[in-house]
Structure 1
Amino acid sequence: MPSILPIDTPSLGDRSYLVHDGRVAFVVDPQRDIDRVLGLAAAHDVRITHVFETHLHNDYVTGGYALARRTGAAYHVNAADPVAFDRVPVSDGDVIAVGDTMTVRVIATPGHTHTHLSYALADTGEPVAVFSGGSLLYGSVGRPDLLGPAHTHDLVHHQYASAHKLAATLPGEAGVYPTHGFGSFCSATQSEARASTIAREKLVNPALTRDERTFVDELLAGLDAWPAYYAHMAPANAAGPGEPDLSTPEHADAEQIRKRLADGEWVVDLRHRVAFAAGHVAGTLNFGLDGSFATYVGWLIPWGTPLTLLADSPDELALAQRELVRIGIDRPAAQATGTPADWAGGHGLESYPRATFADLAQVRHHRSVVVLDTRRALEAAAARIQDATHIPLHDLARRLDEVPDGEVWVHCAAGYRASIAASLLARAGRHVVAVDDDFDHARDAGLPVVTGR
């Protein structure tokens, strides 16, 4: 029986897979930092002979091309995908032998993209698993709207048909191994499941339990915004991205940090939001490594803007670089490690208060403040504080002039996005308070929460 080893990338909500028979291996949808894949193969003493892409990914830069070049593996990409590199083109129905007993059958499963493929694994002729990419997920399917509204109608119906195709052609005991669905914005909805089979999906997946019209209506109603950097991913993947450079960027001293800030570049402080609020270099932005760091940097930064990273330690800096190369931000312009005092170089630090929803409820009894809700549209539509100004975080930088005058109490669902927003507002010279609290506490605190859409 082949061994199927997942390689998780929790920050992007994705999984890659290394599958081996004890001697040779294939890889499905590898992430950009291929050293993880190579290390896993070495640990199991197997040779990678094939790499498979389910689709030209919208949410990350693939490591497939670089991995195939490094290992000499055959690189299998849909024959219909317009790519700028040599690959082994595959189409629906093709069967590829891997090692002595494993075979991989190509199954066309359009829906997430027009040319999406799934790969069914058989061992000695018996189907055992399907690598479903952005097609059939755990309790969901991949989003059908990432190629734009002109394609969404067709793709959502294709997604329904593809899910039924997989359910009809694979045995119930076959394992389902998607790429997306673990927090990825490529997933239409989220599930807590960490493993599944075709049989289980037939019981729980709306694509397999609803009629087509109901499925389509429910899925489309649940879609919200996706990160802006997605627009750059498929073109990068079609070009054949090489291995990333994870060496340490050049050091920036305090004077250079001030100059980069004065020039309008982005200087990002990677520390936790509590530490950032307590003291930071004026003009820096807070994207903590404890949350969806790369997703929100990639979403908010004007693409191509030079980026300087400030971190407590070299290890945190290295982690941030690894996260960034996965979405195509390959080389930070500069970096510095240490403390805010080091980065300020004798200049004073800035700070702003943190608070809870109970604090907000109390202060509203005494004075008028601006409440800014930075959650996404569907979150705010489901429940919101009455009279709050709603500007999703991903729109805030270009809509700062829409934030009413006065002291701004900014919140999200749990505090992470509010800290990013607070740093943007502080950079713009606003008097800001970051609400670092769960939104579920707002009603209990006595704030007027309006529910329903």
Structure 2
Amino acid sequence: MFFVDTIEIEGLGNRHYLAGGARAAVAVDPPRDIDQVIAAAARRGVRITHVVETHIHNDYVTGGLELARVTGAAYLVPAAAQVSFARVPVSDGDVIEVDQELSVRALATPGHTPHHTAYVLEDGGTPVAAFTGGSLLIGTVGRPDLVEPRLTENLARAQHASAHRLAAELPDDTSVLPTHGFGSFCSSGQAEGDASTIGREKTVNAAFAQDVDSFVADLLAGLEDVPAYYAHMGPANSAGPDPVDLTSPRRADAEEIAARLAAGEWVVDLRNRVAFAQGHVAGSFNFEADGKIATYLAWMIPWGKPVTLLAETPQQLAEAQRELVRVGIDRPAAAATGGPSDWLRPGDAPAAFRRAVFAGLAAELSAGKVPVVLDVRRDSERAGGYIEGSVHIPVHALHQRIDEVPAGEVWVHCAGGMRAGIAASLLDAAGRDVVAIDDGFDQAADAGLAIRSAA
């Protein structure tokens, strides 16, 4: 008998796995906060004997090196990956014995990276699952453009070939267990469903529905902006990440918070966007702890700039720290808990801005007012329809392009409200008169707003 446990990191849209038998287990693409993996092994009563990486990751800092060190496990990394630490190099066809009758077989699947390797879990020699990392995902494939622009087309072609190799060598009932594809920007598209098999992928995945030239053309045409912090993840993983330090940051009082803002540092308020709009420290930015804080904060903050975190509770602060270390933001410069009354100096008033829905914007326009309508969605979202006359700056680019927002009152929207909240906080900190639209974009047309198609 074998087991496969999934460790899901929703904020980054990734899954990590622990697979094993009665006594031993292998960890696949572990997250940086390895305590989750160790706890999963303890619940199973097994020893982690092997840690494997499908590739050098571009979207998060791996915990593989530290997990192997702590557990004494062998650390398996594709042989062609250039790394600066000792590891067991893995080549196509290598078989790693995990437990009695249970093994993993390395299968070269280049495309997401040149050295990408999938691992086939075999029970008594029969394939039962494939840990496909960033190659074959659920309904899509991993991006081929994260390594080197000159390699992108060749890697896209390799993705097509790798998908077909998996389909040719594995039974249809083999489970497909990717690392990416559940919201990760390492995926070339969103996962179609929550679970899959090789047989299902043959019927739903474009890699099998199209010839290689059509597949590559569509894949490359659909690629969107790469999160800026990705440039730092590969080098960190190749060098060997440091152990995680999740101890509480140094606490900052109101005077220090003000001083850090005055110095141009980032002060990030983790509360929900409703509370932030109602009152916050002027100049602070709002990245909700319950949103994709790791992705968007790491994408937007100038890399290496000190960040101070403001949280409602110690638990909210601790959870945010855990999210951020996964993308290499290791130690906040300082932190504080409570609310604006705890974070403001005596005599300082909290800042605030309005919130609205699309019907409110329609009412403004009907009354003859002409506010700036700022759309902070991604290019692909805007291509599906946009409000006539709106200005488009994706949220991840707004901090650097804020001077492009026309003068006047700004009504900012995204697809649901979270990114509009981030954008509104940036505009508010820049001294702009802003209204955050906290509404689903599908309500815009129902409110009577004119929607235009990019086509």
| TM bracket, shorter-chain basis | over 0.9
Opposite residue 251 of structure 2, the aligned amino acid is H
Separation of aligned partners in 2, 1:47 and 1:391: 49
Shift of 1:18: 0.3
Shift of 1:214: 2.1
Shift of 1:123: 1.1
Aligned to 1:438: 440
Q: Secondary structure at the match of 2:144?
A: coil
Separation of aligned partners in 1, 2:441 and 2:80: 46
Aligned to 2:405: 403
Separation of aligned partners in 2, 1:139 and 1:400: 36
State the Cα deviation string for residues 95-122 of structure 1 (Å, max 9, x = none).
Answer: 1111221111111100001110000111
Q: Secondary structure at the match of 1:447?
A: coil
Please list, as runs of the form range in 1=range in 2, the aligned pairs for 1:5-154 lying within 5 A after superposition.
5-154=5-154
Separation of aligned partners in 2, 1:84 and 1:145: 23
Structure 2 length-normalised TM:
0.98
State the Cα deviation string for residues 368-408 of structure 1 (Å, max 9, x = none).
Answer: 11001111111112211111111111111111111100001
Separation of aligned partners in 2, 1:379 and 1:222: 12
Shift of 1:345: 2.7
Separation of aligned partners in 1, 2:435 and 2:248: 34
Opposite residue 121 of structure 2, the aligned amino acid is L
Separation of aligned partners in 1, 2:147 and 2:17: 25
Separation of aligned partners in 1, 2:18 and 2:412: 43
Separation of aligned partners in 1, 2:6 and 2:242: 22
State the Cα deviation string for residues 313-348 of structure 1 (Å, max 9, x = none).
Answer: 000000000000000000000000011111013211
Opposite residue 333 of structure 1, the aligned amino acid is A
Shift of 1:352: 0.2
Shift of 1:213: 2.1
Q: Secondary structure at the match of 2:248?
A: coil
Separation of aligned partners in 2, 1:96 and 1:20: 12
Opposite residue 354 of structure 2, the aligned amino acid is P
Provide structure 2 residue ranges, at least 5 long, that are not aligned to the other structure: none
Provide structure 1 residue ranges, at least 5 long, that are not aligned to the other structure: none
Separation of aligned partners in 2, 1:235 and 1:322: 21
Opposite residue 447 of structure 2, the aligned amino acid is A
Aligned to 1:415: 417
Aligned to 2:283: 283
Structure 1 length-normalised TM:
0.99
| Alignment root-mean-square deviation, CA | 0.9
Q: Secondary structure at the match of 2:309?
A: strand
Separation of aligned partners in 1, 2:218 and 2:177: 24
Whether 1:200 and 2:200 are equivalent positions in the alignment is: yes
Please list, as runs of the form range in 1=range in 2, the aligned pairs for 1:169-180 lying within 5 A after superposition.
169-180=169-180
Q: Secondary structure at the match of 1:54?
A: coil
State the Cα deviation string for residues 115-162 of structure 1 (Å, max 9, x = none).
Answer: 100001111111111100000000110011112421111011000000
2:93–2:105 contact (8 Å) kept in structure 1 = yes
Q: Which 4+ stretches in 1 moved above 6 angstroms?
A: none
Q: Secondary structure at the match of 2:260?
A: helix
Identity rate, percent: 60
State the Cα deviation string for residues 226-262 of structure 1 (Å, max 9, x = none).
Answer: 2110000010000111320000000000000000000
Q: Secondary structure at the match of 2:213?
A: helix
Separation of aligned partners in 1, 2:307 and 2:284: 11
Q: Secondary structure at the match of 1:141?
A: coil
Opposite residue 45 of structure 1, the aligned amino acid is G
Opposite residue 36 of structure 2, the aligned amino acid is R
Separation of aligned partners in 2, 1:215 and 1:80: 26
Separation of aligned partners in 2, 1:148 and 1:430: 39
Q: Which moved more, 1:374-383 or 1:174-183?
A: 374-383
Aligned to 1:352: 353
Opposite residue 273 of structure 2, the aligned amino acid is R
Opposite residue 341 of structure 1, the aligned amino acid is S
Separation of aligned partners in 1, 2:283 and 2:25: 48
State the Cα deviation string for residues 152-197 of structure 1 (Å, max 9, x = none).
Answer: 1101100000000000001111111100011111111112411111
Separation of aligned partners in 2, 1:290 and 1:447: 30
Opposite residue 398 of structure 1, the aligned amino acid is Q
Separation of aligned partners in 2, 1:148 and 1:386: 37
2:257–2:267 contact (8 Å) kept in structure 1 = yes
Opposite residue 396 of structure 2, the aligned amino acid is H
Aligned to 1:393: 395
Aligned to 1:302: 302
Opposite residue 261 of structure 1, the aligned amino acid is L
Shift of 1:20: 1.3
State the Cα deviation string for residues 286-316 of structure 1 (Å, max 9, x = none).
Answer: 0001211110000000000000000000000
Q: Secondary structure at the match of 2:220?
A: helix
Separation of aligned partners in 1, 2:158 and 2:133: 15
Shift of 1:59: 0.4
State the Cα deviation string for residues 29-58 of structure 1 (Å, max 9, x = none).
Answer: 000000000011111110000000000001
Aligned to 1:382: 384
Aligned to 2:228: 228
Whether 1:242 and 2:242 are equivalent positions in the alignment is: yes
Whether 1:362 and 2:363 are equivalent positions in the alignment is: yes
Distance 1:148 1:386, change over 3 A: farther
Separation of aligned partners in 2, 1:179 and 1:47: 22
Aligned to 1:449: 451
Separation of aligned partners in 1, 2:240 and 2:58: 14
Separation of aligned partners in 1, 2:445 and 2:223: 26
Aligned length: 453
Separation of aligned partners in 1, 2:168 and 2:116: 18
